[in-house]
Structure 1
Amino acid sequence: MGYLLNGTFVEACDCRLMCPCWTDDEPDDGHCTGLFAWSVDTGSTVDGLQVGGARVVCVTTHLGRRRGQAAAENTLSVIFVDVVDLPEDERAGALTALGQAFSGDRSGPLEDLKAVNGTVVLVEPAGIAITATGDDVTVTVDSGGAQPVVATLSPACFDGHEALTLRRTALSKELGIADEETVTAHHSDTLTIRAAALPGGFIEVTGRSGMRGPFHYVHKERP
C-alpha cells in the first residue's frame, strides 16, 4: 500500500556545533555517536495501519561521512520503537512496520535512510518520550528498566539573536525535509547514550550538536 509519514525529528550527537554531517563533511575526530528521534503525527500510515502518536529513536555510531556507500559500510544502528499510544490490537503490526520503515527497508524515499543507518543490528520496543517545553526538547528512551538515551537540547542562539536555521542541507533528502523547510540548530545541555549493542555506543557529553525540524515521507506502492 505504501506509507504517509509526517512529524518532527530531533538529532543529537557528540560532534561540536554544528555536526559536519549536515554539510556532508567528515565528523569531528573521524567518528560520531548520536541519535535521530522521530515523533509521528496523527494521520500517518504505513501499509494502511494508523501509526500517528508513535515514536522512533535510532542510535548510531559511524566513521566518516554519513551518506553514500562508504557510510553504509561504516555505520551501525539500533532502533527503538514506541507504539504504546496506538490501539492495543494494532501495536504488533505497527511495531514491525515502523521498524522496517525507519531502518530504510522500504522502497521509495525511506530507502534513502538505509545508507544513513548502515547496518541495523537491533530493533526493539521501548518507552520513548519526546517532550517539547517551549523551544527546548528532551528525548528519553527506557528499555528493559535501563535508560540507554537521555538528551536535553535547547536552540543554539548566537550573540542574543535567534537560533541558527538551515535549508537544503546534505541530509534533507534522507530525512524527508522539503526544500522550503528549515531545521533549527540546537546544542545539548545533556546527551547520554549507553547502547551496549554498538561499539563506541557509550557517550556522556554536554554542549554538542543538535538539530530539530519537520519530516515527510510519502510513497504509494504500485498495485
Structure 2
Amino acid sequence: MPVKPAAGRPRKERVENAAMRRRQLIEATIDSIVEHGLSATTLATVSDGAGLSQGVAVFYFKNKQTLLAETLKYHYEEYTEVWKSAVAAAPDDAVEKILAMVGADLDERICNRRHLALWNSFWGEAKARPVFAEICDTYDAEHTAVLTALCRMAEDLIADPSWNAETLAEALATLTDGMWIRMHVTPDAMDNAAGRRMVGRFLATLLPARHDQVMARMAGGKDADNPGAKAKAG
C-alpha cells in the first residue's frame, strides 16, 4: 500500500519560511544589541522585537549563546560579501584591488552606526567568549590572507624598504579597525569620506608611484566610490 505524503506545506515552502524566521530573529537581535547592549539582549527582547513568540526563538536557536553566535556569523557573511564583491569588480590591477578592498571597510552598507555598534559589542566580548573569538578569527583569517596576497602583488611599489606586504596589510587592517572604533565612540569625529581620505594619504605615501591614482580613488567623490551601487544603511 503506497505511503501518503505528509500533510502540510510543501518542503520548499517550509525551508523558505524557516530561513525567513531565522533572518527575522537575527535582525531583531542586531536591533536589540544596538538598543540594549549585548549583555542585556535576551531571547525575550529579541522575540519581542521580531514580533514572534519566545518559543519560536528557542525552536530555531535553542538558547541566547547560539543566537548571538549565529548573528555574528550572519554579520560577517554580509561583510565578506561586500569586500569580495568590491575586489571582484575592481580593475585587474593590484593597487586598484587593494583600494577596493580597504574601501569596502568604509562602505556605508558596513560602516554605519548600527553596524559599528554591533561590531564593537562583539569585539568587547570576544576575549571572554571563545565562540565569538573563533568566529572572528575564521573570517578575519580569510580577509587577512586576501589582503596580504594583494599587497604582495604590489610590493615592488612600496618605496620604503622597512615596509613589506605583510606589514602593509596589517597596517591597513589596523587603520580601518581603529576608524570603526573611533566612529563608534565619537561618531562626530570622523565620517566615511574622511576615513577614505586618510587611508588614501597613507597608501599614497607608501606607494608614491601611484600617488595620483590612489588619491583620486580615495578622495571620497563620486569617481572614488567602490565599484557597484552603495545602499545607505541606517
Same fold? TM cut 0.5: no
- The one of the two structures with greater contact order (alpha-carbon pairs below 8 A, sep at least 6) is 1
Rg (Cα) greater in structure: 2
Give the number of the structure whose residues are more often helix, by fraction. Answer: 2
Which one has a larger percent strand, Structure 1 or Structure 2?
1
TM-score (norm 2): 0.28
